[in-house]
Structure 1
Amino acid sequence: MITDEKMKHAYYKALLERNTAFDGIFFAGITTTGVFCHATCPARKPKYEHCIFYDTAEEALLSGFRPCKRCKPLSYPRSIPETVQKMVELVEAEPEKRWSDRDFSELGIHSATARRQFKKVYGMTFVQFARARRMGIAMKTIKNGEKIIDTQLDAGYDSSSGFHDAFTKIMGRKPKQSKELKVLSADWIDTELGPMMSVADDDYLYLLEFVDRRGLEREIERLRNRLNAQIIPGKTKISEQIKAELQQYFAQSLKAFKTPFILMGSDFQKSVWQQLLMIERGETTSYKELGTKLERPNASRAIGNANGANQLAIIVPCHRVIQTNGGLGGYAGGLDRKQWLLNHEKNYLKKN
């Protein structure tokens, strides 16, 4: 999301003037209609305060906006092959669906060809697109705290049953379906590295992740199953605490995270995460060194998998684990974020 006021005004001016030089440079989410457009959209122009600007279409999708049917922002700057157009229509018809190779075969589409064509046109894979559209439904509700019916209409559904199918497949069953069901609250947190989502109750934080993290849906699913929980949009004293602490962290004024949290995983995963919590800010360790400390010197791969299963980004600092040769290794939030966090924490030490 674009936050620089000067840039936002420049983009809004381009939107009003339908300036072709800005097509593909930004995407404008229109809060009153729930769609996003590119600069030359012929539709009636919204007020400035109703526009949110994004660098990429994926960001707009994850924020819950759907592609405008008039300007078709996802088609810029290329025409769309028939196969790709068909795939987009299928996602819009059933955005809650998780696609597999079998689904492509049943449609008479070769999955590899479809993926290649889709990425060529949109700069993201079909799986990324479908996931972003799917997660956007849930994220829009979490971000804005809107009434269910309003979100349903903005998401493009004609009936409440369609919306509930999409939302509850990610966030769980409705509370009235089980007296034993635990209810957790999900909140949206804007950060310098992109939006994050927290999941908490009034006592503990259970999940803190970047909204665009690959595998986030499965993390949510595992959490729901372990706790027999449903996740609803909302704020708690814990979600407010972690939001405030993250603001301090990015401002380099936080001494330590004090938000109470619960680690949800196997005994081995928990042992890895406990070691991560001992790595001082501004320092790094290697997968091999972690294995030695855990008395599992040959468990680098397992340790890497445990890092990938970490559900508390930044708090449990898996970004501080690098390869023995100094390479970054992996990071579920993306290597650019990992490098940024490491640089941020080194500067943190210099400042403090």
Structure 2
Amino acid sequence: MNLQNAVLPPHAEMVRAMLERDTAYEGVFFTAVKTTGIFCRPSCTARKPKPENVEFFAHADEAMSAGYRACLRCKPLDAAAIAPDWVQRLLTSVDADPDLRWTDAQLLAEGIEPLSGFRDAFQKSFHITPGRAAHSEPLLFTRLTTPLGPMIAMAEQRGLVLLEFLDRPALTREIEELQNRYGYAVAPGHNGHLQQIEEELAQYFAGKRSEFNVPLHLPGSAFSKQVWAELMKIPYGQTSTYGAIAAHLGKPGASRAVGMANGQNRLAIVLPCHRVIGADGSLTGYGGGQPRKAFLLRLESAAVQITQQLAF
């Protein structure tokens, strides 16, 4: 069964809502136009496409993973920022006191009727129940522009949690894991860590930064964290292999397990899995695609050569 279809309204109803610009479906689904490569909110005022040229997604990140760009008119990535006042008030309260357990009396005091569909509306907007949100760490995300294409960055108060290219096939699975396994409440927003990674990425692509200083928070298994720590030790402009990393960990027969942990890295470029190559010197797999891996290695090699030339 297709999970996406299971959480979406009936197809005919979504077509109707799109054609009529029905604001009642804000945050419930997104429309993606195959002929333009753009996705919108249901109420977008742009000229409506033919229904046969549209596909629907439950979440914006799913549309981006499928290769669609956000509409500049209706700005679907900002949909949560225009949530109803009662949702914004509640989020502010949850952020101020994340340990508070919400009761019906407290909701009534905030002007929210507990039996009025509050739970369903909240879950449609933020893909998490209000009860879980009250005990969840907010994970804010923003979209970044890079020479290799758009990326998405996610950070919580302890540091950067995710940095991926938007077309990475595993992106949706990674976000669902952060929500379901690690209990994050994901929402668009900005914080100091997101601002810092945006600035540091720009410097990196300009060849002016060889390491990142943004704080990191890396949920994962103990073994994965060991592998990720080894990735951080690979010098800028150099490469290593799965076998070498396994040997450094004292597990010379664990090359395959190292490769799997490498593939589970959620922090592209910052945790430099692009510097890991095959034993025969081949580029091997890379979640962002081998052309991007080759570009990153060339960028770093060129920057190192320029630095060495200037030193002489």
Q: Specify the SS of the correspondent of 1:336.
A: helix
Quote the offset at 1:177 in angstroms. Answer: 5.4
- Structure 1's unaligned 5+ residue stretches are 1-33, 39-55, 73-84, 98-127, 150-160
Amino acid in structure 2 at the alignment position of 1:295: G
* Equivalent in the alignment of 1:96: 58
Spell out the pairing of 1:260-339 with structure 2 (5 A cutoff): 260-339=215-294
- 1:71–1:201: structure 2 CA closer, same or farther, 3 Å change rule? same
- Which letter maps to 2:58? E
* Residue 349 in structure 1 maps to residue 304 in structure 2: yes
1:233 matched to 2:188: yes
2:144 aligned residue: 189
Instruction: Return the letter of the residue paired with 1:320.
Output: R
Deviation at 1:209, TM superposition (A): 0.9
Deviates more, 1:221-230 or 1:321-330: 221-230
Which residue in 2 is equivalent to 1:147?
82
Shift of 1:302: 1.1
Shift of 1:132: 2.1
Q: C-alpha separation between the residues in 2 aligned to 1:222 and 1:248?
A: 30
Shift in Å, 1:288 = 1.3
Structure 2 CA distance, aligned partners of 1:68 and 1:166?
Answer: 26
Normalising by structure 1, what TM-score?
A: 0.58
The answer (yes or no) to whether the contact 2:67–2:166 under 8 Å persists in 1 is no
CA contact (8 A) 1:183 1:232 kept: yes
> What does 1:55-70 align with in structure 2 at a 5 Å threshold?
57=37, 60-61=38-39, 70=49
In structure 2, distance between residues paired with 1:342 and 1:242: 20
Is the partner of 2:66 in helix, strand or coil? Answer: helix
Partner of 1:50: none
What stretches of structure 2 of length at least 5 have no aligned partner?
Answer: 1-30, 85-118, 308-312
Partner SS, residue 258 of structure 1:
coil
Distance verdict in 2 for CA 1:313–1:195, change over 3 Å: same
Opposite residue 147 of structure 1, the aligned amino acid is: I
Distance 1:68 1:301, change over 3 A: farther
| Residue identity opposite 1:179 in structure 2 | A
Name the CA distance, whole Å, in 2 between partners of 1:331 and 1:300: 16
1:221-260 paired onto structure 2 within 5 Å: 221-260=176-215
2-side partners of 1:267 and 1:37: how far apart?
A: 42
Opposite residue 340 of structure 1, the aligned amino acid is F
Name which of 66, 84, 98 aligns with 1:132.
66
Q: Under a length normalisation based on structure 2, what TM-score does the superposition of the two structures give?
A: 0.65
| CA displacement at 1:342 relative to structure 2 | 0.7
- Where 2:138 maps in the other structure, the secondary structure is strand
Q: Distance in 1 between matches of 2:201 and 2:262?
A: 20
Q: CA deviation at 1:339?
A: 0.7
Aligned partner of residue 213 in structure 2, secondary structure: coil
Please give the secondary structure, in 2, of the residue aligned with 1:227.
coil
Deviation at 1:179, TM superposition (A): 2.1
After TM superposition, which residue ranges in structure 1, 4 or more long, deviate above 3 angstroms? 34-38, 63-72, 128-131, 133-137, 140-146, 161-168, 174-178
Q: Residue deviations 1:86-109, cap 9 Å, x none?
A: xx76x43xx229xxxxxxxxxxxx
| Letter matched to residue 209 of structure 1 | E
Go from structure 1 to structure 2 and tell me whether the alpha carbon gap of 1:253 and 1:143 turns closer, same or farther (over 3 Å shift): farther
Matched residue type, 2:265: N
Superposed, 1:14-53 pairs within 5 Å as none
- Asked if structure 2 preserves the Cα contact closer than 8 Å seen for 1:96 and 1:134, the reply is no
Worse-superposed segment, 283-292 or 235-244:
283-292
Q: Deviations over 1:327-348 (max 9, x none)?
A: 1110011111111111111011
Q: Could you say what the CA RMSD is over the residues aligned between the two structures, in angstroms?
A: 3.6
- Partners in 1 of 2:48 and 2:208 — Cα distance? 45
Q: Residues 326, 165 of structure 1: CA spacing in aligned structure 2 closer, same or farther, 3 A cutoff?
A: same
CA distance in 1 between partners of 2:249 and 2:222 (Å) = 12
* CA-CA distance at 1:256 after TM superposition: 2.1
8 Å CA contact 2:142, 2:154 repeated in 1: yes
Distance 1:211 1:201, change over 3 A: same
1:207 is aligned to 2:207 = no
Conservation of the 8 A alpha-carbon contact between 1:194 and 1:210? yes
Distance in 2 (CA, whole Å) between partners of 1:284 and 1:148 is 46
Partner-residue secondary structure (3-state), 1:214 = coil
- Name the SS for the 1:350 alignment partner: helix
Identity rate, percent: 35
